[in-house]
Amino acid sequence: MTNYSNGAAKERRVLERYKKIGFDIYLRSTGSHSAIDCVCINTKTKVIKMLQVKPKSMSDKAVERLQAILQPLSDEYIVTFEVVT
């Protein structure tokens, strides 16, 4: 398997895990090179999780660096929904 297919498979497993714990909207940013690989939303609790999925082999130090970089995303946001035609 390629790195892409391994990563995509892991992202799908992560989404399944969030689905099982009550998140009812979830998506993968296919082929994305952004800071966010997956988004999971629990409409009952109003919790939105933005996830960066990495391999278990990633060092603790690298994980800490990435979390520090992405920390500004952990905040309160105004979220709106609209249908665009």
Q: What is the mean pLDDT of each run of 10 residues along the chain (85 residues)?
A: 88 96 93 85 94 91 93 90 95
Other residues' Cβ atoms within 10 Å of the Cβ of residue 40: 21
Select from 15, 59, 5 the least CA-distant residue to 37.
15
What pLDDT does residue 80 have? 93
What pLDDT does residue 33 have? 78
What pLDDT does residue 31 have? 75
What pLDDT does residue 27 have? 94
pTM attached to this predicted model: 0.82
Other residues' Cβ atoms within 10 Å of the Cβ of residue 26: 19
